[in-house]
Structure 1
Amino acid sequence: MRTKTENKVTYYIYCINHFAERFKLSPKDSFNYLFQYGGMLFLEDFYDVEHLLSLNDTVEDLVAVCKNRGGYLQ
């Protein structure tokens, strides 16, 4: 049985990769962007809600969070 931490890490990886695909970034660049503009902190803080949504909805939320913190991808 997987721990909650393992589930979170797996979810973060899915989100990073889905974000990367949407914006044609490498996974590394996607992570760096999300980290720089607060997306990773958002995923950590709101995991309990966000993991129940589709990845498309989560990416839309990440776009909004990052934009509010100076991000430029839309």
Structure 2
Amino acid sequence: MAEVVIASGKRKSAIARAYVSKGKGSVKINKLNLLAYPEYIRQIIAEPLQLAEKYSKKLDIRVRVEGGGPVSQAE
């Protein structure tokens, strides 16, 4: 069975749960590919992934976000 790391966080009234496992670098937020989001939101989300590019390309990241507005969810 694959090892999965689960993390959660809050920003304003948005609550996020992230599931990280070994993979090919896919990022999905609320079951949608990162590319389905507007450019500004993608930049906010992708910033930490770019800083850890060496590692993030070997991981699959799934995030479930509830509450708040689009920018609060991205942050």
TM-score where L is the length of structure 1: 0.29
More helix by share: 1
Kindly indicate whether structure 1 or structure 2 has the higher relative contact order, using CA contacts under 8 Å at least 6 residues apart.
2
Larger radius of gyration: 2
TM-score where L is the length of structure 2: 0.29
